[in-house]
Amino acid sequence: MRALIIDDSRAMRAIVGKVVKELGFEVLEASDGRQALAQLERAGLVELALVDWHMPDMNGLEFVQAVRAQHTYDGMKMMMITSQTEVEPMAMALKAGANEYLMKPFTKDAMQVKLQILGIAGA
């Protein structure tokens, strides 16, 4: 299975990447929503997108909206991974089409629980 990590922080992409690799995923990366859309066009099927909220050019919410507007990616699960802690942004992300929400900082166990909720096997 493949996971696309979308975050403008290279360090955060590395941290998230390490966790999902340990859970059995092949990892693709993008530093913003526009790069992520281009990555999806090149890569084809990706089972999971792990999306940061705050990014330049195209933020995480805009990415989720753009993906959900294309039926090609209907089967892709999307999880927001962000430091946003208020209820309203979480509700906005879920309404836009995100499937789950994980707050930074997080543990491998927390990520694994969220993936199980999404029905995606984690090691």
End-to-end CA distance of the chain: 12
Question: pLDDT of 7-36, one tens digit each?
Answer: 999 999 999 999 999 999 999 999 999 999
Question: Is pLDDT above 70 for 122?
Answer: no
Question: pLDDT of 37-88, one tens digit each?
Answer: 999 999 988 999 999 999 999 999 999 999 999 999 999 999 999 887 888 9
Q: For residue 68, what are the contacts with CB-CB under 8 A and spacing of at least 6?
A: 96, 97
CA–CA gap between residue 95 and residue 123 (Å, rounded): 29
DSSP string, 44-81: ---SEEEE-S--SSS-HHHHHHHHHTSGGGTT-EEEEE
> pTM here?
0.94
Which domains are present in the chain? Answer: 2-107 (3.40.50.2300)
